[in-house]
Amino acid sequence: MPDLTPEERRGGEVEQAGGTRSAPAPRTSRLPGPAQGFGVTFSTMFKKVTTEQYPDEPKVTKPRYHGRHVLNRHPDGLEKCVGCELCAWACPADAIYVEGGTNTEEQRFSPGERYGRIYQINYLRCIFCGLCIEACPTRSLTMSNDFELADDSRGDLVYTKEQLMAPLLPGMEQPPHPMRLGDDEKDYYLRAGS
């Protein structure tokens, strides 16, 4: 590679082993560099500051916000979760643990053959991605807008089935009880108006 004098270089370009590199752009300000930096600081010092009064005025989330999970119920109170464990398989953070149980006619918790006997979500691991919601075939698992999940105990951030179940609405009965909306699970999932 020939050595070039500054006069021989074109347009301030410096030839290097990997190619050419352009010279820095010409400065448009007559102020030194540090004064330009302080200018940015001073220009933002007097702008209005956005302050949220969080504990006193709770933040309003968007309708599709991914917050705490909820296990939903059918209109008669039976659980929608059938213990299939697809949500646990879909979870990339391995935050969900499901153990299915078998329904009997005396002890019926869901319309299908199985129900989620043990259901836990570890919110220390959950990344709120929503893949568990997409994997649920019965639309049992949804996400609410509840975002206040902080706690000072690690054990309290592992939510159990009782903490995740949707509350009983008027007209619902606490399971276990027989099916009230039809004779088999197809009446629950394929009924008109749902």
- Going by the annotation, the residues of the binding site for [4Fe-4S] cluster are 81, 84, 87, 91, 126, 129, 132, 136
Q: Where are the domains of the chain?
A: 68-148+155-166+174-190
Listed in sequence order, the residues at least 6 apart from 97 whose beta carbon sits closer than 8 Å to its beta carbon are 88, 118, 119, 120, 121, 122
pLDDT per residue as tens digits for the range 126-177: 999 999 999 999 999 999 999 989 999 999 999 999 999 999 999 899 999 8
Looking at residue 134, its pLDDT comes to 95
* Percent of the chain whose predicted confidence (pLDDT) is above 70: 86
pLDDT band of 194, cuts 50, 70, 90: very low
Beta strands 114-122 and 19-21 are: unpaired
Looking at residue 184, its pLDDT comes to 78
Among the CATH numbers 1.10.645.10, 3.30.70.3270, 3.30.420.40, 1.10.1200.10, which is that of 68-148+155-166+174-190? 3.30.70.3270
- Please check whether residue 83 is in contact with residue 98, taking contact to mean a CB–CB distance below 8 angstroms: yes
Instruction: Please report how many Cα atoms fall inside a 13 Å half-sphere around the Cα of residue 61, on the Cβ side.
Output: 12
